Structure 1
Amino acid sequence: MIMKTNILFSLLLLASTLSSSLARGVFQTLPSEDFNDHSNVNRTRHLLEGNESRSSTGTNDQRRVCVDLALGYMTNSELERAIKEFGQRCSNISRIYSIGKSVKGVPLWVIEISDKPGEEETEPAFKYIGNVHGDEPVGRELLIFLANWLCDNHLKDPLATLIVENVHLHLLPSMNPDGFSLRRRGNANNIDLNRDFPDQFFFANDDEDSRQPETRAIMKWLRDIQFTGSATLHGGALVANYPWDGTHDKRTYYAGCPDDDAFRFMASIYSHSHYNMSSSKEFLDGITNGAAWYPLYGGMQDWNYIHAGCFELTLEVSDNKWPIAAELPILWKYNKMSMLNLVASLVKTGVHGRIYSSGDGRPLPGFITVSGINYTVRAGRTFADYHRLLAPRDRYEVVATMPGYKSKNTSIWLDEGAMSLDFVLDPEVSVKGSILRNVYDCNCDSKSKLEFVEFLLGSHLEVFFVFIVILGFLCFLFQRRKKVKFSTTKQSTGAKRTVVV
């Protein structure tokens, strides 16, 4: 019996050592000082992926080692029970919902944490996704740690209070529950979910019906909720990775997106808040551009930025893809402040505000651009709130636009803190346009408006002039009443705003 125990322990130790060595081996070929010479990176990566695929279909001894390594990790049913129990224990600040199901029908459960869960507010939304790859389960455990810590401390810890009261945080512990059960990277159809999204360079994934149900669930989720920031939790390295993930020619080199400065800033927040990520010898400052590490296509973080207006990082949070469960509390301790500070950065940095109409004060779901950065942020549909992530810098020129309105721009100086900036846009009007606009305010249909204008233009000039004078006077009274109403509406929000333009 003692001999069998020793043999089993040796196998566990060997498997853990090999996994850690393989993960580190990928990066020892990658000098952080040179982004252009990575000839060995892809070869090492292919060797690692080959070993992973063999382990999932290997001998009975290898499978037994995998099962033993999973001891102490929550099964899918245990994870579901933990999520629902959390929802009951912390019902005042949480909501539990599902965004869909896996290939095998396992619900993809999400925990939302907020002081007003399920309600739409003028607050940014952030999501964490774990277990994208089935054989990288650390993320699913860390997200349960995070949820419970916020529940226990949101009335005690200032950072927890800040997040609960100012952010809508959504946690998807497992995107790939089938892959976790099968102890392999891909889902039940053996598809790598981080290669299954539409790609800007190659169009293999453009048919939505051909994508995996887990992928479609994520895409629908982002159509339903406008996320400002996001991160996925992976394993096998220790680095914060940011877009672009791919290159147009499939070569390995630094490929920065339009918001490269903002992404580097976000990645640095995570890296420098981590126990030892920023001191990495493989990656300068503990961060890396995805394409400079190795190009990939169909990845989730590039799709988030391009199609969903969401700034997403890919976080490698453990050198070992599947460490023994006894190490999970230590990994939580190492990543805790990083995970919290990254979420808090949504409200502690960048520029935030709303867009209004000067005519009647109603919110305008317009667009925010920054001069010199080829990227547009859309304001929210209901409250016209926007949240523009930016790296601290001396000066930015921010522009607000809305079809049918005159654009406005202003210069801001963004230091380490956040800035609130509201825009009040004036409608574009002409003589004929102003008449149509006022007729529209009377709730007449389009045909009636046109017939009314044609009638006026066809009448005698004197009658038309008298009508214009009367209409102008009525318009003056109407606009005055609306401006009073607009002022009252703004004061009632109670929001503290630094600048209004």
Structure 2
Amino acid sequence: MFLFALCLYLGKLVSSGGSLEFRYHNTVEVERYLRDVNNTFDFTHLHSIGKSVEGRDLWVLILGKNPAEHRMGIPEFKYVGNMHGNEVVGRVLLLQLIDHLTRGYLSDPLVTRLLNSTRVHILVSMNPDGFESSSRDCMYSQGRFNKNGIDLNRNFPDAFSKKESGMREMEVRAIMDWLKTESFVLSANLHGGAVVASYPYDNSNGGSELQSGSSVAPDNDVLIQLAKTYSYTHSQMHKGDHCYDSKDFKEGITNGYYWYPLPGGMQDYNYVWGQCLEITLELSCCKYPPESDLPGLWDANRAALLAYMQQVHLGVKGQVLDAEGNPLQNALVEVEGRQNLCPFRTDRHGEYYRLLLPGNYTFRVTFPGHQVLMETLTVPYGPDSFSALVHNFQLQRSAAATPGPSRPTQSCTPPQVWRPLGGHSPSLGPSGVTILLVLLVLRDTMLL
């Protein structure tokens, strides 16, 4: 009798046609669904990146040809939903996206090429505690904040703010730690309450980045292209926000700061410290729309979600190697004319990824003890072929020892990243903290 009841309960996750049902699944149901997907499809991998304040796992499903580990030349992409617990459309859309990808792999050519060329990470809910406390109100539902009453999208380190408490919520620390384990190239976080694609920067301190009311990032042209890709592939977004209580957005996009200043935001943190270009997608006028609206919202966003993923193949990728062909970790790969607050570095595999629009670019590649390499490349449009331009930079050892590059700036060390706080996650002991601080210093002086 128990097994029969359990089968009936699990069966409610899908409709009679076998596809994922359009409704709001609670946290227990979402976990069951993700586990079932992971057990069914060998091109998926499920893991938890941490826990919420109330102890709920933050489950990430990875999809790709080799989901359990990074492979050379395969860019890492992520979607994050439900950061604000009462903004629930992104949570639903990411579950539907998982269903679409798993059903389409090896049968749908676009899905197959995406998953063969990209490792896709999907965090359905960053704030499960907030979701569970939400009520079904269009705009004024409780549940926006986490269990501690903190807005998670105001809790990240901010390169433009001097008022840094360093007190990171568990969910935020989980994201920050996650970014250290994967070299993410492109990302989007899904919200609700408007219909627009917002791009960095979200904040400013009135420096040179502040131009005509916008806070302009060094990769502004790429960020605008990313936002427009989503907006124009979406069925309505490019027409401007049609929500009754919101402003119109030309072409369905906006600079984050121009819309409203936002300190401690996740997309700026990804871009400045994670080398990951991220935009914020506002996907519905109602934060918590009736379930009858969900099929239409999926239809409006399905193609855009896929098209945006494909943009991970913009630009150029490859490795930085020494004269013997060994990969160099922490080599700086900079594009002339783009002075990022934190210069882009190679990862532990010596890999780099730079999202760039088609054109000619001069690269400056530096590593201590090696000659500076300047090289100009012609970059094609990679998404059509599902691959950025592949180019390796090979450095020659310098005859005399050379000092480390004057950059990165002090802002490249996020404040209080390693500060141990109470909670469900185990904290580092004093020796662990000391070792990590030493490693950070060595990294930033280019000794590692």
Cα distance in 2 for residues equivalent to 1:110 and 1:131: 13
User: Which residue number in structure 1 is paired with residue 292 of structure 2?
Assistant: 326
Mapping for residues 470-489 of structure 1, pairs under 5 Å: none
Deviations, residues 362-411 of structure 1 (Å, cap 9, x unaligned): 111222110000022211212x121101123x321122222221122222
The letter of the residue matching 2:347 is: G
User: Which residue number in structure 1 is paired with residue 45 of structure 2?
Assistant: 95
Q: Is the 8 A contact 1:162 1:344 kept in 2?
A: no
The letter of the residue matching 1:107 is: D
Cα distance in 2 for residues equivalent to 1:98 and 1:114: 17
Matching of residue 155 in structure 1 with residue 121 in structure 2: no
User: Which residue number in structure 2 is paired with residue 381 of structure 1?
Assistant: 348
* Alpha-carbon offset, residue 206 of structure 1: 4.4
User: Which residue number in structure 2 is paired with residue 363 of structure 1?
Assistant: 327
Cα distance in 2 for residues equivalent to 1:276 and 1:216: 35
* Alpha-carbon offset, residue 416 of structure 1: 2.8
Cα distance in 2 for residues equivalent to 1:226 and 1:420: 17
Identify the match of residue 391 of structure 2 among 413, 418, 421.
Answer: 421
Cα distance in 2 for residues equivalent to 1:206 and 1:377: 26
Q: Is the 8 A contact 2:23 2:92 kept in 1?
A: no
Cα distance in 2 for residues equivalent to 1:117 and 1:203: 39
Identify the match of residue 82 of structure 1 among 30, 33, 37.
Answer: 33
Q: Which segments of structure 1 move beyond 6 Å, counting only runs of 4 or more?
A: none
Cα distance in 1 for residues equivalent to 2:162 and 2:261: 16
Matching of residue 408 in structure 1 with residue 363 in structure 2: no
User: Which residue number in structure 2 is paired with residue 189 of structure 1?
Assistant: 148
Matching of residue 399 in structure 1 with residue 349 in structure 2: no
Deviations, residues 21-76 of structure 1 (Å, cap 9, x unaligned): xxxxxxxxxxxxxxxxxxxxxxxxxxxxxxxxxxxxxxxxxxxxxxxxxx931011
The letter of the residue matching 1:269 is: T
Matching of residue 166 in structure 1 with residue 132 in structure 2: no
Instruction: Report the secondary structure of 2:77's partner residue.
Output: strand
Cα distance in 1 for residues equivalent to 2:200 and 2:82: 20
* Alpha-carbon offset, residue 231 of structure 1: 0.6
User: Which residue number in structure 1 is paired with residue 140 of structure 2?
Assistant: none
Sort the Cα spacing of 1:363 and 1:182 in 2 relative to 1 into closer, same or farther, 3 A. Answer: same
Mapping for residues 210-221 of structure 1, pairs under 5 Å: 210-221=167-178
Mapping for residues 168-247 of structure 1, pairs under 5 Å: 168-183=119-134, 184-207=143-166, 210-247=167-204
Cα distance in 1 for residues equivalent to 2:147 and 2:230: 32
* Alpha-carbon offset, residue 158 of structure 1: 2.2
Cα distance in 1 for residues equivalent to 2:147 and 2:23: 23
* Alpha-carbon offset, residue 413 of structure 1: 2.6
* Alpha-carbon offset, residue 263 of structure 1: 0.5
TM norm structure 2: 0.76
Instruction: Report the secondary structure of 1:98's partner residue.
Output: strand
Identify the match of residue 117 of structure 1 among 59, 64, 67.
Answer: 67
State the number of aligned residues.
354
Identity %: 40
The letter of the residue matching 2:193 is: G
Q: Is the 8 A contact 1:133 1:176 kept in 2?
A: yes
Mapping for residues 415-454 of structure 1, pairs under 5 Å: 415-417=380-382, 418-430=388-400
The letter of the residue matching 1:76 is: T
Cα distance in 1 for residues equivalent to 2:216 and 2:225: 13
Deviations, residues 191-229 of structure 1 (Å, cap 9, x unaligned): 10000111122244442xx21110111111111111111
Q: Is the 8 A contact 2:183 2:347 kept in 1?
A: yes
* Alpha-carbon offset, residue 186 of structure 1: 0.4
Instruction: Report the secondary structure of 1:110's partner residue.
Output: strand
User: Which residue number in structure 1 is paired with residue 263 of structure 2?
Assistant: 297
* Alpha-carbon offset, residue 249 of structure 1: 5.3
Q: Is the 8 A contact 1:197 1:205 kept in 2?
A: no
Q: Is the 8 A contact 2:23 2:294 kept in 1?
A: no
Identify the match of residue 221 of structure 2 among 254, 258, 261.
Answer: 261
* Alpha-carbon offset, residue 325 of structure 1: 1.3
User: Which residue number in structure 2 is paired with residue 23 of structure 1?
Assistant: none
* Alpha-carbon offset, residue 106 of structure 1: 0.5
Cα distance in 1 for residues equivalent to 2:346 and 2:285: 39
Cα distance in 2 for residues equivalent to 1:164 and 1:266: 19
Cα distance in 2 for residues equivalent to 1:162 and 1:206: 44
The letter of the residue matching 1:233 is: L
Instruction: Report the secondary structure of 2:308's partner residue.
Output: helix
Cα distance in 2 for residues equivalent to 1:126 and 1:355: 21
- Of stretches 413-422 and 284-293 in structure 1, the one that deviates more from structure 2 is 413-422
Identify the match of residue 284 of structure 1 among 246, 250, 258.
Answer: 250
Cα distance in 1 for residues equivalent to 2:127 and 2:164: 18
Identify the match of residue 108 of structure 1 among 39, 52, 58.
Answer: 58
Deviations, residues 435-487 of structure 1 (Å, cap 9, x unaligned): xxxxxxxxxxxxxxxxxxxxxxxxxxxxxxxxxxxxxxxxxxxxxxxxxxxxx
Cα distance in 2 for residues equivalent to 1:113 and 1:231: 16
Q: Is the 8 A contact 2:315 2:380 kept in 1?
A: no
* Alpha-carbon offset, residue 257 of structure 1: 0.9
**Structure with more helix by fraction:** 1
The letter of the residue matching 1:364 is: L
Sort the Cα spacing of 1:78 and 1:205 in 2 relative to 1 into closer, same or farther, 3 A. Answer: farther
Cα distance in 2 for residues equivalent to 1:76 and 1:203: 37
Cα distance in 2 for residues equivalent to 1:113 and 1:390: 25
User: Which residue number in structure 1 is paired with residue 302 of structure 2?
Assistant: 336
Unaligned runs of 5+ in 1: 1-70, 434-501
* Alpha-carbon offset, residue 344 of structure 1: 1.3
Sort the Cα spacing of 1:242 and 1:402 in 2 relative to 1 into closer, same or farther, 3 A. Answer: same
Instruction: Report the secondary structure of 2:215's partner residue.
Output: coil
Mapping for residues 305-316 of structure 1, pairs under 5 Å: 305-316=271-282
Cα distance in 2 for residues equivalent to 1:400 and 1:338: 35
Cα distance in 2 for residues equivalent to 1:312 and 1:385: 20
Cα distance in 2 for residues equivalent to 1:155 and 1:143: 20
Quote the RMSD (CA, aligned, Å).
1.8
